Amino acid sequence: MEAKSQSIMADSYAMNGGDGPYSYAQNSMYQRGIMETAKRMINEEIAMKLDIQKLSLAASEPIRIADLGCSCGPNTILAIQNILEALKRKFQTHPTPEFQVFFNDQVSNDFNSLFASLPELGRQYYAACVPGSFHGRLFPTASLHFVYSSCALNWLSKVPKEVVDKTDPAWNQGRIHYTGAPKEVFEAYSDQFAKDIGSFLQARVKELAPSGLMALVIPAVPDMISHPHITTGSEFELVGSCLMDMAKMGIVSEARIDTFNLPIYYTYPKELRQIIEGNGCFSIERMDMLNIPKQHIAMPDLRQRTVYIRAALEALIEKHFGKKIIDQLFEMYSRKLSESPIFLKPENQKTTAIFVLLKPI
* Contacts with a copy of itself, residue ranges (CB under 8 A): 1-5, 9, 58, 60-62, 96, 98-100, 102, 107-108, 110-112, 115-116, 118-132, 137-143
Nearer to a copy of itself, 2 or 339 (CB): 2
Q: Smallest gap, in angstroms, from Cβ of residue 70 to a copy of itself?
A: 13
DSSP string across 302-321: HHHHHHHHHHHHHHHHHHHH
Angle between helices 302-321 and 29-49 (to 10 degrees): 90
Give 259's contacts (C-beta < 8 A, 6+ positions apart).
164, 320
Nearer to a copy of itself, 121 or 225 (CB): 121
Q: Smallest gap, in angstroms, from Cβ of residue 197 to a copy of itself?
A: 22
How far apart are the C-alpha atoms of 343 and 351, rounded to whole Å? 12
C-alpha closest to that of 91 among 138, 113, 59, 123: 59
Nearer to a copy of itself, 112 or 348 (CB): 112
How far apart are the C-alpha atoms of 302 and 321, rounded to whole Å? 24
Q: Smallest gap, in angstroms, from Cβ of residue 346 to a copy of itself?
A: 37
Nearer to a copy of itself, 38 or 66 (CB): 66
How far apart are the C-alpha atoms of 13 and 177, rounded to whole Å? 16
Question: What 3-state class would DSSP assign to 71?
Answer: coil
Nearer to a copy of itself, 130 or 287 (CB): 130
Q: Smallest gap, in angstroms, from Cβ of residue 111 to a copy of itself?
A: 5
Write down the H helix ranges in the chain.
Answer: 29-49, 75-90, 111-116, 183-207, 231-248, 254-258, 269-279, 302-321, 326-339
Nearer to a copy of itself, 58 or 225 (CB): 58
The CA distances from residue 269 to 66, 197, 348, in Å, are 24, 14, 20
Q: Smallest gap, in angstroms, from Cβ of residue 198 to a copy of itself?
A: 21
Q: Smallest gap, in angstroms, from Cβ of residue 4 to a copy of itself?
A: 4
Strand partners, 301: none
Q: Smallest gap, in angstroms, from Cβ of residue 125 to a copy of itself?
A: 6
How far apart are the C-alpha atoms of 101 and 124, rounded to whole Å? 10
The CA distances from residue 263 to 48, 192, 205, 243, 292, in Å, are 36, 9, 24, 17, 24
Q: Smallest gap, in angstroms, from Cβ of residue 84 to a copy of itself?
A: 11
**The one-letter amino acid at 360:** P
C-alpha closest to that of 19 among 28, 32, 30, 7: 28
Nearer to a copy of itself, 209 or 272 (CB): 209
Nearer to a copy of itself, 5 or 53 (CB): 5
How far apart are the C-alpha atoms of 150 and 76, rounded to whole Å? 9
